[in-house]
Amino acid sequence: MASSDRRDRREFLKATAGAVALTAMGKAVPAIAQSKTIVFNDSGGASAEAGKVAFGDPFEAQTGVKVKITAPAQVAKLKAMVQARNVEWDVAELVSQEHRLAIREGLIQKLDKTVVDVSHLTPDSHDDYSVVFGFYSTAMGYNRQKTGDGKRPKNWQEFWDAKAFPGRRALRNHPVDNLEFALLADGVPADKIYPIDLDRAFKSLDRIKQHVAVWWKDGAQPAQMLLDGEVDFTSGWHGRFFALAMAGEKRIGVEWTGGMLKRSWVGVPVGAPNPKEAMQLIALMVQPKNSAKYAEGISYICGDPRAYDYLPDKVKEWVVTNPSIKSRMVLADEDWWLENAERAQQRWNDWIAS
C-alpha cells in the first residue's frame, strides 16, 4: 500500500472515530441533563401538588432538569443549612415576614434579573432578592346553609358582634392576622392598622374571646369545621375554601372584606447547589401561563397582572389579585411583624392562657 493511501486511511479512521464519539456525546447530553435534579422547598400539601403541575413538570420538559419538591417551608432550617454550608434547597419558599428575615440574615442571594424578568410584576411582588409566586389570604369563611347572607357577618366588626350575629365562631390560635382583625373590629381604618397598637388590639380581643368556640391550629380545620357544622363562621386560609368549591361543595362561602392579603415569596439560598437552574425555575414560576396553572390548583397567583387573563372564570372569583377582591383587603406589613413578632407572640401566649 502506498504511503499516501496509508495516510488517507489513517485520516478516514480518525474522522470516523471522531464522528462516533460526537454521536455518543450527543446521545449522552440529554441523559446527563435528565439525571440532574434541583430542589424546591415549598409549604407542601395542595401547594406542592399544584406546583408540580404548573412549575415542576414544565421545567423538566423545557430543560431536562427534574424538580423535587420538599416541605415544609422553614426559615430556621434554611438558616441552619446556610450556616453549616450544607444547603439542600435550590429554591426556597419564604412566607410573609420570614421573607424579610431571610434577607436581613443574608440567607438568600440577589436575583439574577437577566434571567428573572420582573418588568411585568407589581411593585409589591418583587424586590432585589425574591419574587412573590403566590398571593393568598386569611379571610372569613362561613356555612351558607346555617347562616345565609342576611344572617352572617360581612366584616370583622360584625364578626365581633355576637349579639347581632349569633353563631359559633373560630379563630386561629396565633397573633398573626388576629391582631389586625381585632383593630378592624374596633373601628381602626384599614390604612391605619400599622404600627399595631397592641393594647388596643388585645382590649378588642377581650370582647370576642368568650364567643370563640375553637382556636384552630391546623390550616385544614376551618373548612372542615364549617362542613361538619362545628362552627358557623371562622377565619381561614382561602385556598382551603377554594379546594372545596372546585370539588363542587356549595355550602362554604367567603367574605373578603377585611381579609389579610399575604405573600409567599421564592428566592435562591446562599450556597444553593444549582443557582443557575434555580433562577431559571423562578423565572418560569412568574410566567403568566404557569402562574395561572398554579392558581387553578390552589387559587394562589403571582404578581404579574397578565396571569389573571389566563384563568378560567370560576377561578377568577377566588384569586386575591382580582381587583374587586384586592381592593377590600389589607396588605400584611411584613416589616412590622419581623420587628414585633416575638413580643406579640409572648403577649398572645399569656392572653390565650388567661
25 is a domain residue: no
Looking up residue 93, the CATH number of its domain turns out to be 3.40.190.10
- Burial (CB count <10 Å: 0-12, 13-18, 19+), residue 104: exposed
In tens, the pLDDT along 179-203 reads: 999 999 999 999 999 999 999 999 9
Give the contacts of 265 (CB within 8 A, at least 6 positions apart).
93, 94, 95, 99, 130, 131, 132, 133
- Residue 200: CB atoms within 10 A of its CB come to 15
**Full-model pTM:** 0.86
Q: What is the pLDDT at residue 96?
A: 86
Q: Directed axis angle between helix 178-185 and helix 198-208, to 10°?
A: 80
Any domain includes 13: no
Judged against a pLDDT cut of 60, whether residue 19 lies above it is answered with no
How many separate domains does the chain show?
2
Rounded CA separation 55/47 (Å) = 11
Q: Is 346 found in the same domain as 212?
A: yes
> Do 207 and 291 have their domain in common?
no
Same domain, 254 and 236: yes
pLDDT band at 34 (very low <50, low <70, confident <90, very high): low
Residue 249 has pLDDT above 60, yes or no: yes
Lowest mean pLDDT across 15-24, 61-70, 290-299: 15-24
3-class secondary structure, 100: helix
* Domain that residue 296 falls in: 36-135+263-320
Q: How far apart are CA 323 and CA 135, in angstroms?
A: 13
Q: Does 337 lie in the same domain as 196?
A: yes
Same domain? 278 vs 130: yes
Do 341 and 315 reside in the same domain of the chain?
no
Evaluate whether 216 touches 353 at the Cβ level (below 8 Å).
no
User: Among candidates 214, 223, 225, which has minimal Cα distance to 173?
Assistant: 214
Three-class HEC string of 163-204: CCCCCCEEEECCCCCHHHHHHHHCCCCHHHCCCCCHHHHHHH
**Weakest mean pLDDT among 5-9, 31-35, 55-59, 277-281:** 5-9
Domain-embedded: residue 19: no
| Whole-angstrom distance, CA of residue 176 vs CA of residue 174 | 6
**Is residue 29 in some structural domain?**
no
* 24 occurs within a structural domain: no
Asked if residue 26 belongs to a domain, the reply is no
- 117 and 254 together in one domain: no
Same domain, 245 and 305: no
Task: Pick left, alpha or beta for residue 222 (phi over 0 → left; psi -120 to 50 → alpha; otherwise beta).
Answer: alpha
283 and 301 together in one domain: yes
pLDDT recorded at residue 146: 78
Q: What is the pLDDT of residues 84-93, one digit of tens each?
A: 999 999 999 9
